Amino acid sequence: MNQQSSASSIAESVRRGERTATEILESYLANIDRREKDIHAFNLVTAEQARAMAAKVDADVAAGRDPGPLAGVPIALKDNMCTRGVPTTCSSRILEGWKPPYDATVVTRLAAAGAVFVGKTNLDEFAMGSSTENSAFGVTYNPHDTSRVAGGSSGGSAAAVAAEFAAASLGSDTGGSIRQPAALCGVVGVKPTYGTVSRYGLVAFASSLDQIGPFTTDVRDSALLLEVMSGHDPLDSTSIPQPPLSLMPALDQDVKGLRIGRITDLPAGSDPEIEARLAEAFAALAAAGATIVDVELPSMKYGLTAYYLIAPAEASSNLARYDGVRYGRRVDAPDTNAMYGATRAAGFGEEVKRRIMLGTYALSAGYYDAYYGKALKVRRLISDDFARAYQKADVILTPTSPIVAFPVGAKVDDPLSMYLCDVFTIPTNLAGHPAMSVPFGTGAEGLPVGVQVLAPTLGEATMFRVAAQLERSAPGGAR
């Protein structure tokens, strides 16, 4: 079997009876056995559950039933998505061992499409971080260079696909947590429009920003997964009442006549090699018939500041439920208040505590208008700037990350330096727009570089059209 098989080719071969889901699964489990101890992509490998799911797919094929568009595709799930009867920890001690009584909507939809779940992936605790070094269960390492980080917070999901532990995976993106690790690990990562994919069963970090999306080896596979995952869900009050996305037809269209936005006031500080890859991406799209147009996003430089008030404020509210009474492990103490303090002190890591304190302060009496209220106004300014830019451009291109994967431990003592890794991804979350990272060559020391394609609300079809062209034009040829 070709270990490099894409999710779409795996599903096609299983549905035609050319390969069995069980055979494919075992090859991926062998990859996990061989390299997982060096990568630590998973908090839990669910081998026996996966074998049962693969056997069901094979039984459906044998009986002449169509198992679905993801038939036999091994998929890994970020460990902040609820899986019935399977531990869901958010990489936090406070939820260690918790088994949800229900599945997240995305889990239900992928299973119905024939997917095979191989495990729950490691993340920065409660999805707070950019390197997957904040996990209570250890660091995830980059499969391209295990001395370096995989990115975050969905580092385990990105590493699982890059290391061929799964054909695809799911992550969540609050400020870049799908796109940044996708860039650092050299895979495709997509954050869809807020509300197109249900958040029901996703353990909340910042509810107005969180969105679930796929990691895959190529653009076509991401389109396939999003078509399966998207569509209205009455269980999620923020779900957009519309049918699933239609993306596959866009992949074979060229980019002639499209306007590609180049931000003239983009925040500085990217590695020279990354700036060079971005310039090559613009040139490749121009050569393919697109028009490059200059756009301005003057408030983009305030995105990081606004995000680190809004997201912690929402997190401090969402994480208040983990108190040893309603949710989470309990640390016994002489009285209730002491128990609250002891439970949260023992259960949460340093980064989570830092953000809870920051968010609680921003929401406190006397400071709400000065901090949280002002951040919401900046969020609106960013949305308005994007709206003006999209009058001139159909999509916008930026780097995904200003740097390639950095050494493990290099930024753990400098939170601001770590936060700056998300300078190009955060504005899209604030606006609620779709964006995706596409591998585009390499940078320093031969490490992967990602180019980010941004689009307006529900502009996924055009975004994928451009991403497919970038993939075809990428240094080294199409994947």
pTM attached to this predicted model: 0.97
How many C-beta atoms lie closer than 10 Å to residue 406's C-beta? 22
- What integer pLDDT is reported at residue 3 of this predicted model? 43
pLDDT (0 to 100) of residue 328? 80
Which pLDDT does position 476 carry in this prediction?
A: 76
Q: How high is the pLDDT of residue 326? A: 83
Please state whether the peptide bond connecting residue 153 to the residue before it is cis, i.e. omega within 30 degrees of 0: yes
Task: State residue 477's pLDDT score.
Answer: 54
Length of the chain: 479
Q: How far apart are CA 92 and CA 107, in angstroms?
A: 21
Kindly list the catalytic residues. Answer: 78, 153, 177
User: Is the separation of the CB atoms in 125 and 205 below 8 Å?
Assistant: no
List the structure tokens of 168: 């695809």
pLDDT along the chain (479 residues), means of 10: 74 97 98 98 98 98 98 98 98 94 98 98 98 98 98 98 98 98 98 98 97 98 98 98 97 97 95 97 98 97 96 96 86 93 94 95 93 96 98 98 97 90 97 98 97 98 98 77
All domains of the chain in start order, with CATH:
7-252 (3.90.1300.10), 302-374 (no CATH)
Query: Among residues 295, 299, 308, 305, which one has the least CA distance to residue 455?
Result: 295
pLDDT of residue 1: 33
The helix-helix angle for 219-229 and 460-473 (nearest 10°) equals 160
Instruction: Supply φ then ψ for residue 119, to 5 degrees.
Output: 165, 180
CA distance 98 to 328: 8
Which residues is 439 bridged to in the sheet? Answer: 450
How many C-beta neighbours within 10 Å does residue 370 have?
Answer: 11
Phi, psi of 77 (to 5 degrees): -115, 130
